[in-house]
Structure 1
Amino acid sequence: MLHEPTIAASASEQRVAQERTFRTHDGTEIFYRYWPAVGRPAKGAVLLFHRGHEHGGRMAHLVDELDMPDHAFYAWDARGNGRSAGERGYAPSFAALVRDIDCFVREIGRDGFGQRDIALIAQSFGAVLAAAWVHDYAPQIRAVVLASPAFSVKLYVPFAKQGIALWQKIKGRFFVNSYVKAKFLTHDPKRIVSFEADPLITRPIASNILVELYDHAARIVADARAITVPTQLLISGSDWVVRHGPQHEFFVNLASPAKERHVLPGFFHDTLGERERRKALDLIKPFLERQFATPEKPVDLTAADRAGFTRDEADRLASPLALLSPRGLYWAMSRASIRMGAWLSSGMKTGIATGFDSGSTLDYVYENEARGHGPLGRMIDRTFLDAIGWRGIRQRKLHLEELIGSATRTLKAGRPVHIVDIAAGHGRYVLDAVAKCTEPPASVRLQDFSDLNVSLGRKLIAERHLPTSVSFHQADAFDAQMLAGLDPAPDLAIVSGLYELFADNAMIARSLGGLAKAMQPGSLLLYTNQPWHPQLEMIARSLTSHRGGQAWVMRRRTQGEMDQLAAAAGFEKLDQRIDQWGIFTVSIARRV
């Protein structure tokens, strides 16, 4: 596609794309274009992510215009767009699209490109997806360029967002058509004509994606301190489609040691397809070449428990409020309502008695069966069980079961599988996962510090009539010497829901170090993390922990911080899952 004579390469210089497909995490076939590097070997790979409604073909002009022949280029058609499969304009969730990016990066890994060989260029909706992937999965990529990220779309009808969300609750999923005319996207007459004539443009977008876009964009903007990847932000000065405010807020919040912000006066929303896009490309090319040639040293996050924004956040939550202040009164009423609810709700009663972060409470949440005194008690209990945090916990259980199953299948090819969970609670999620394995592991050793959890876990094993190879032991998950001496040595070690409860990284390093000493190279580690939570203040001000009834104040770990702690102990991250709200992650890593 040629646009500006001053920009386009001559016919002899144009690179030819190969057309490929791959199947993403749920089997959907994704179409993408691949331009091999002209030189050998390639100096790196640049991935292009198109804006909403469009497809990778409309980013193809950048391959020649950026004039980086020593780099391979890739451009996908997002699911439901262009030549990729899927219902037009639809995805199961925003998180599914983000995970598609993770699968795409794994796909190009087959061409020999690791994460440190990759940079992203993304525009509009694609830029929000890219920012979410960088935030949630903490990839070790070289750089990301975000052009006019759609953190806040201008819906010119008053209360349109709220109306879409309400109508979706009433009627279910529906589609919203984009009526934005091409003349409001770019000043380039050829881009305008090609947009209006392009049969692969997808005008509708599913309501669930539009609603979730706002939610996830707000989360990413507010929590951009978690992003340390070198980032260049391009803002179109005369954008009719998205608001500038969140873009600037995102930039201010970024923790990237190398970050740039450029406002391009007069540019419409299609920043990389504008008539004067040479101005943008002349910013992008040197930024990327600099990061490929002399990449920034990764930010060390292992001391974030002592100095960092999540430490500051936890300190604020641990600071008491004046009782007679408006907020103090509000949270006092919240605590009182929970104590009253515990008279009727079995779940709340368990939380009050054992701590809302205890193994007993989590086991109750896993069972997900509303219980209480009478219909009112069961109704209160159902509201308790449907809290977003508990929904995330149950999704975490599903991800754990999935990855435990895949890990055991991988390991069985090489040796008998011995499993250990160093803080299993009642052990329900491990036993459920093992029950689904086609071949039982050689042994399953469950451990917990709580005598109550050990007793109830042993009862659960007895109720299921499991063999003696499945056992439960009382042990301290932070006892490095005990972990290092595990016999048999674990082939699969599981740490779920534990590290999130303790702010001190030295404790986590001690625990991971003990496991690493026990595990042979090639053994696998499953670990969970909580990089974000929408109810941190409610939890800190209203709920109690298992530690003597203290307030349940959590210090979040960014995914990058948790991954660095695992890497420092000798584990290489292989894969990750995250729930649709961005709260809980489950990662799998190999002992190296």
Structure 2
Amino acid sequence: MINTRTPDERQFLTSDNTELFYRHWPAISAGATPKVIVLFHRGHEHSGRLQHIVDELAMPDTAFYAWDARGHGHSPGLRGHSPSLARSVQDVDEFVRFTANDSQASMADVVVVAQSVGAVLVAAWAHDYAPVIRGLVLVSPAFKVKLYVPLARSGLALFYRLRGLFFVNSYVKGKYLTHDPQRVASFSQDPLITRPIAVNILLDLNKTAERIITDAGAITLPVQMLVSGEDYVVHRQPQLDFYQKLRSPLKELHVLNGFYHDTLGEKERVLVFDKMRKFIDTLYKLPLQRFDYSNEDRWGPGADSWRILSGGPAPCSLDDIAYRGLRYGMKMLGTQSTGLRLGFETGFDSGSTLDYVYRNQPQGSSALGHLIDKCYLNTLGWKGIRQRKIHLQQLIQQAVTKLVGQGKAVRVVDVAAGHGRYVLDALEGEACVSEILLRDYSELNVSKGLEMIARRGMTGCARFERGNAFNRMELASLDPHPTLGIVSGLYELFPENRLVRQSLAGLADAIEPGGILIYTGQPWHPQLKTIAWSLTSHKDGEAWVMRVRTQGEMDALVREAGFEKCAQLIDEWGIFTVSMAIRRDDSDQFCTAD
């Protein structure tokens, strides 16, 4: 007979001040090292339906946690609603970090078990945030929900655009989830089951799943995939496509013949729990599996993509003809747009272009030019850039608060600041900041930045100088040494990691232990081909070919330099990340987010 462990019931506060309900099952015996398993429930459900997992895994030396997602169970919000899927993925990151801290463990002691919609959230988290955890168990992930009405997704997207937010009720009945009559009855009778799902979440789920499956090679954690063989709720092929692209050598797939969608609640689930327990035991017996990113700029998929794009389209192909036409059209009509003209003059990756995008005020030499400029500024990439600016300012302000709280002086350096707008916007009026040093290699950027400092009346605390962000000795000799270093939008412009390592090493030399680094990343971009084959960079009019780095690769470079990431933000499209890391001391301790 299974002994039931009784959970504590608590609330967890997210970064947007939402109190999410969660259950905690403390370990009932001590192990050699801490073990923490975080459970994520299926769509429509809640943490109370996960009690049996804690009992049936029978791991007394392990602490278990499970939340009620926003809009589910005892957590607040409209039923079945979240502001966005990206917000829910951020909740995952914050909750897992919280569970590690609450258990006095490190992230490396955590295993995550997630089902259905919860598994999609966790897969997106693993892709976008690259957490350093022990591993994942993904159970029947809902990468593609079976919608039995033809063109359902297109219709829902159209109605959402016309009507705004509305809710779709689930068609799923308990008898389609499991052969276990007790589970069927409990599903039907549970008053906390949430039938509706917000249309924005349903559509985001599909878009995010497509992105994650396409780029699943970015996920390098150990993964066990459990797939139901007779699933009436989600499609199997996207699950298999996702699994095949995972890059960890420690991964295993099980297709469970005859199982319905509630894989862990099926009648014969003892077979599943045996496989899970064996996999999880293996994860805890082995050393933490860190993926080797040391040659990622030579042999990784991001490097391959950069080399393919650098070669340009095949001559006389449809891509060649299409992008020739696009370039011709932009030069003939597009230059009536102030933004496009500035891009051709200074480079679409220049500080001048980014400052124009930040201001987001369409301009043109004619009505047509104004319209073109408006469309140009509203492209997805530039929306992401503006969101990156907001995230930069948020983490800069958090970093200042952290340094002041530790009694440290706040001395800021941005090593490739462009015009410096995002730094000055974040720090203007901050009396606790003793010095702001902005640097850039471009004389034009230095000149524009000095003008901006003067206009804001910040000449007493801010200065701008020409400098090389890749010169280690130059950065190491900054005087006085900064306590907050910033590098934004720079590394993706350079394909090799040698320069990135030099830059980060120089910042590590300059920033004392306990100091902070804020850095950006670009793990994915939906318009890489369009950018590479139609836009020019600031480097003598060359093609603007960006080198995406997975978040795991970027974090590994930062860790190698002597920093440890403790916070991250990412836009809702999964394009640009902004991360905060602490300069480690000799004890090489992990940092924790506030």
Give the TM interval when normalised to the shorter protein: over 0.9
Partner of residue 545 from structure 1, selected from 537, 552, 563: 537
- Aligned pairs for 1:471-486 (under 5 A) are 471-486=463-478
- Aligned pairs for 1:239-254 (under 5 A) are 239-254=231-246
Q: Which residue of 2 aligns with 1:122?
A: 114
SS at 2:231's partner residue? Answer: coil
* One-letter amino acid of the counterpart of residue 113, structure 1: A
**How big is the shift at 1:299?**
1.1
Q: Which residue of 1 aligns with 2:424?
A: 431
- Aligned pairs for 1:103-502 (under 5 A) are 103-108=94-99, 109-295=101-287, 297-413=289-405, 414-435=407-428, 437=430, 439-502=431-494
Partner of residue 48 from structure 1, selected from 27, 33, 39: 39
Q: Distance in 2 between matches of 1:26 and 1:436?
A: 24
Q: Which residue of 2 aligns with 1:68?
A: 59
Deviation per CA, 1:126-157: give whole Å up to 9, x if none: 00001111111101111100110000011110
- After TM superposition, the structure 1 stretch with the greater mean CA deviation from structure 2, 321-330 or 523-532, is 321-330
Q: Distance in 2 between matches of 1:277 and 1:571?
A: 43
Deviation per CA, 1:149-185: give whole Å up to 9, x if none: 0000111101100111111111111111101111011
Q: Distance in 1 between matches of 2:557 and 2:444?
A: 30
Q: Distance in 1 between matches of 2:54 and 2:344?
A: 59
SS at 1:235's partner residue? Answer: strand
* One-letter amino acid of the counterpart of residue 68, structure 1: M
**How big is the shift at 1:337?**
2.0
Name stretches of at least 5 consecutive residues in structure 2 with no aligned partner: 585-594
- Does structure 1 residue 591 correspond to structure 2 residue 583? yes
Identity of aligned residues (%): 53
Q: Distance in 1 between matches of 2:491 and 2:248?
A: 25
SS at 1:306's partner residue? Answer: helix
SS at 2:299's partner residue? Answer: coil
CA 1:93 to 1:358, structure 2 compared with 1: closer, same or farther past 3 Å? same
Partner of residue 554 from structure 1, selected from 546, 565, 568: 546
Number of equivalent positions = 581
Q: Which residue of 1 aligns with 2:518?
A: 526
SS at 1:586's partner residue? Answer: strand
Q: Distance in 2 between matches of 1:339 and 1:173?
A: 40
8 Å Cα contact 2:516-2:582 kept in structure 1: yes
8 Å Cα contact 1:405-1:436 kept in structure 2: no
Partner of residue 24 from structure 2, selected from 21, 34, 46: 34
**How big is the shift at 1:22?**
1.0
- After TM superposition, the structure 1 stretch with the greater mean CA deviation from structure 2, 309-318 or 356-365, is 309-318
* One-letter amino acid of the counterpart of residue 17, structure 1: P
**How big is the shift at 1:227?**
0.6
Q: Distance in 2 between matches of 1:341 and 1:63?
A: 63
Partner of residue 6 from structure 2, selected from 16, 21, 33: 16
Name stretches of at least 5 consecutive residues in structure 1 with no aligned partner: 1-8
Q: Which residue of 1 aligns with 2:592?
A: none
SS at 2:298's partner residue? Answer: coil
* One-letter amino acid of the counterpart of residue 526, structure 2: P
8 Å Cα contact 2:475-2:506 kept in structure 1: yes
8 Å Cα contact 1:579-1:585 kept in structure 2: yes
**How big is the shift at 1:469?**
2.2
Deviation per CA, 1:224-274: give whole Å up to 9, x if none: 101110000011010001101100100111011201011001011111111
Normalised TM-score (structure 2): 0.96
Partner of residue 58 from structure 1, selected from 27, 36, 49: 49
Q: Distance in 2 between matches of 1:334 and 1:60?
A: 57
Q: Which residue of 2 aligns with 1:575?
A: 567
Q: Which residue of 1 aligns with 2:589?
A: none
**How big is the shift at 1:111?**
2.0
Runs of 4+ in 1 over 4 A off after TM superposition: none
8 Å Cα contact 1:48-1:120 kept in structure 2: yes
8 Å Cα contact 2:334-2:372 kept in structure 1: no
Q: Distance in 2 between matches of 1:163 and 1:436?
A: 49
Q: Distance in 2 between matches of 1:78 and 1:295?
A: 31
Q: Distance in 2 between matches of 1:455 and 1:170?
A: 47
CA 1:244 to 1:114, structure 2 compared with 1: closer, same or farther past 3 Å? same
Q: Distance in 1 between matches of 2:98 and 2:515?
A: 24
SS at 1:305's partner residue? Answer: helix
8 Å Cα contact 2:228-2:255 kept in structure 1: yes
* One-letter amino acid of the counterpart of residue 278, structure 1: V
8 Å Cα contact 1:341-1:348 kept in structure 2: no
Q: Distance in 2 between matches of 1:412 and 1:320?
A: 50
**How big is the shift at 1:296?**
5.1
CA 1:520 to 1:544, structure 2 compared with 1: closer, same or farther past 3 Å? same
CA 1:160 to 1:436, structure 2 compared with 1: closer, same or farther past 3 Å? farther
8 Å Cα contact 1:145-1:232 kept in structure 2: yes
Q: Which residue of 1 aligns with 2:590?
A: none
Q: Distance in 2 between matches of 1:321 and 1:174?
A: 43
CA 1:50 to 1:436, structure 2 compared with 1: closer, same or farther past 3 Å? farther
* One-letter amino acid of the counterpart of residue 9, structure 2: E
Q: Which residue of 2 aligns with 1:79?
A: 70
**How big is the shift at 1:374?**
2.5
Q: Distance in 1 between matches of 2:108 and 2:380?
A: 35
Q: Distance in 1 between matches of 2:354 and 2:106?
A: 37
**How big is the shift at 1:342?**
3.0
Q: Which residue of 2 aligns with 1:5?
A: none
* One-letter amino acid of the counterpart of residue 92, structure 1: P
8 Å Cα contact 1:60-1:75 kept in structure 2: no
Deviation per CA, 1:567-589: give whole Å up to 9, x if none: 11100111000001110000001
8 Å Cα contact 1:258-1:296 kept in structure 2: no
Q: Distance in 1 between matches of 2:251 and 2:327?
A: 43
**How big is the shift at 1:555?**
1.3
**How big is the shift at 1:339?**
1.6
8 Å Cα contact 1:419-1:491 kept in structure 2: yes
**How big is the shift at 1:406?**
1.0
SS at 1:442's partner residue? Answer: strand
8 Å Cα contact 1:43-1:292 kept in structure 2: no
Q: Which residue of 2 aligns with 1:4?
A: none
SS at 2:393's partner residue? Answer: helix
> How big is the alpha-carbon RMSD for the aligned residues of Structure 1 and Structure 2?
1.1
Q: Distance in 2 between matches of 1:296 and 1:278?
A: 27
Q: Distance in 1 between matches of 2:336 and 2:454?
A: 30
8 Å Cα contact 2:411-2:436 kept in structure 1: yes
* One-letter amino acid of the counterpart of residue 177, structure 1: N
Q: Distance in 2 between matches of 1:85 and 1:280?
A: 32
Q: Distance in 2 between matches of 1:17 and 1:198?
A: 19
